[in-house]
Amino acid sequence: MAQTNSCFMLISCLMFLSLSQGGPC
């Protein structure tokens, strides 16, 4: 599966959730 767009969306979503929660630390 070479869906770079899907991978980018997943990473973006994870980063957004991390920022919303205040980071993993």
Q: What angle do CA 18, 7, 22 make, to 5 degrees?
A: 5
* Annotated domain spans of the chain: 1-25
Alpha carbons 21 and 2: distance in angstroms, whole number: 30
Containing H/E element for 9?
Answer: helix 4-21
> What is this structure's pTM?
0.52
Q: What is the pLDDT of residue 2?
A: 64
Residue-by-residue pLDDT tens, the chain, 25 positions: 567 888 899 999 889 988 888 755 5
22 three-class SS: coil
